[in-house]
Structure 1
Amino acid sequence: MKIIDAFWDTRNLGVRCAELVFSVGESIPASNDLKTALAGYEYIAAKVPAGNTEIADFLQREGFTFAECSIGFEHDLGSIGDDELASHQMRMTHRLARDGEEEYILGRIEQGLFCTDRIYLDPFFRHELAARRYVEWLKDELARGAQLYDVFFDNAKVGFFSYKEIEEGVSYPFLIGLYPENRGRHLSANLVSESLLLSRERGCHLSRTVVSSNNIAIIKAQEAAGSRIYRIHYVLTKHQ
């Protein structure tokens, strides 16, 4: 059991936050030890490897509520052929966000673009806080060297994705967003594919990302793009 002081969420949500992370095969902690370790925190998100129902049940007895599953997807980039690359880029392209375009994307996120995460769905938090959390997270990532890309379909801007590399040869596209006015056009899988193509262009052999089980659309998009699940965590939360 590892307790992380989630200072970034404390800043964004206005309550003292912690993450409680369990490892595969870990046993149930003592109730008093857990209470002592979490004293002073107001919002806790616990992450438990899927299949460890004993710890999940224990946490629920301790007042935690199931919020979502955190699903890790990965894609073997060697499976993307040159013909697929060429045909895809005939209609959809990506471009590094230019001056002013980053602010435009941040503004769209702040309007409430993402509405399936555990913060947005938690009645304790205002929807504006959930949007602000994404904005501040993305700003932090950009300051650490991540990049933001506009995505175009038939030369019209339809969405965006953020990009970083978490280790040599492994990309991590995140916050993949399709603008609401383009929903219903079956572009979500193409948007995911665009982030995978950039990863391949950068010389990566593997791409990984994490999505919420509450976001059915992105799960379907990842699967349609050829990504496969490599891990799942239960996420349970508690206010105290």
Structure 2
Amino acid sequence: MFETKTRILKVGTAKLHYALIPWDSDSLNNTTVEIEFFSAKNVATLNKLLMHLQRTLHLKKGDLLFSKIPPKDFSKIQLLDQVGFYYIEQTITLDIDLSGWNPDEFVFSRGDGYRLILAGLSDKKLIRKIAGSTFIADRFHLDPNIAKAGANYRFEKWIDNSFQSTDIVYKFVDDKNLIIGFFIVNEHPDYAEFRLAGLDPKYVGRGLGKMLYHCMYRLLEDKGCTLIKSVISLNNLQVLNVYMYLGHAKFISPFIVLHKVL
């Protein structure tokens, strides 16, 4: 469900690798395409590749092209800028080493009533509602050329897809057993991947984000997991501060993300 197929097109000796992103296309009601690689060294050649791509896929107004480029490849970022792409965000990958992490070092004033529980299908509607209203700093919400309703719907669909995939969905409940957030992970043989997490907007700003992530760290540690991986936008300062608070995080693999809405 979450796999894409890389395709290649050529103009002369120049190549462009791309992949259709069907789940984003469905949510945003457009055709969303990731430019994974291009060999063009100048604006003219890159424009020819992009025009060939638009003709091949029958792209139209409102369709989205995006690319993720390491900051060290500044010449490629410049070329994309010159053909109409614009900066949206920078992402990094976190490697979190739980082997030396001690959950008992952290004390929370709200007590032990807050916890993560495996979510069932009966919880999906409420979790979906939270996901559709809590995110504002992702690249789709920050792009002025993308409708906010579509950006919200993308996260709602993410919840739907997660319940149908190998992802594990947890609900975050308070001391009254009310669902106030969620956490989605994917467990691999040698690490766990954080996919998506969020709090009901009514509870944001109360320090509960630290508890949410602490609960997940502890849950995974109890399962014997020693490594967590997560991709995060530098725009998401609240969660970055949570990672800094909980510690043991190493920042790697930065990418500049650029969009172009046709």
Q: Is 1:36 aligned with 2:52?
A: yes
Q: Which residue of 2 aligns with 1:171?
A: 192
SS at the partner of 2:116?
strand
1:90 deviates by: 3.7
Q: 1:82 to 1:238 in 2, by over 3 A?
A: closer
Q: 1:158 to 1:138 in 2, by over 3 A?
A: closer
1:143 deviates by: 0.8
How does 1:189-228 map onto structure 2 within 5 Å? 189-226=210-247, 227-228=249-250
CA contact (8 A) 1:147 1:163 kept: yes
Q: 1:146 to 1:119 in 2, by over 3 A?
A: same
Q: Distance in 2 between the 1:186 and 1:22 partners?
A: 41
Q: Which residue of 1 aligns with 2:116?
A: 94
Q: Distance in 2 between the 1:133 and 1:183 partners?
A: 21
SS at the partner of 1:78?
coil
State which of 105, 114, 117 in structure 1 corresponds to 2:138: 117
Q: Is 1:51 aligned with 2:54?
A: no
Q: Which residue of 1 aligns with 2:3?
A: none
Q: For structure 1, which segment, 230-239 or 204-213, has the greater mean C-alpha deviation from structure 2 after superposition?
A: 204-213
Q: Which residue of 1 aligns with 2:9?
A: none
Q: For structure 1, which segment, 211-220 or 92-101, has the greater mean C-alpha deviation from structure 2 after superposition?
A: 92-101
Q: 1:189 to 1:106 in 2, by over 3 A?
A: same
State which of 125, 132, 136 in structure 1 corresponds to 2:153: 132
**Residues paired across the two proteins, number:** 235
Q: Which residue of 1 aligns with 2:24?
A: 9
Structure with greater Cα Rg = 2
Q: Distance in 2 between the 1:92 and 1:199 partners?
A: 16
State which of 150, 156, 161 in structure 1 corresponds to 2:171: 150
Q: Distance in 1 between the 2:232 and 2:79 partners?
A: 25
TM-score (norm 2): 0.80
Q: 1:28 to 1:80 in 2, by over 3 A?
A: farther
1:34 deviates by: 3.8
1:198 deviates by: 2.2
Q: For structure 1, which segment, 33-42 or 220-229, has the greater mean C-alpha deviation from structure 2 after superposition?
A: 33-42
Q: 1:64 to 1:82 in 2, by over 3 A?
A: closer
Q: 1:231 to 1:27 in 2, by over 3 A?
A: farther
1:158 deviates by: 3.5
RMSD: 2.4
CA contact (8 A) 1:151 1:160 kept: yes
Q: Distance in 2 between the 1:80 and 1:139 partners?
A: 33
SS at the partner of 2:134?
coil
1:179 deviates by: 1.8
Which letter does structure 2 place at the counterpart of 1:64? F
CA deviation map 1:65-124 (0-9, x unaligned): 001112211201112236449x678454211123422221112222x2111111112222
The percent identity for this pair of structures is: 23
CA contact (8 A) 2:89 2:233 kept: yes
Q: For structure 1, which segment, 26-35 or 217-226, has the greater mean C-alpha deviation from structure 2 after superposition?
A: 26-35
Structure 1 stretches lacking a partner, 5+ long = none
Which letter does structure 1 place at the counterpart of 2:36? V
CA contact (8 A) 1:64 1:238 kept: yes
TM-score (norm 1): 0.87
Q: Which residue of 2 aligns with 1:230?
A: 252
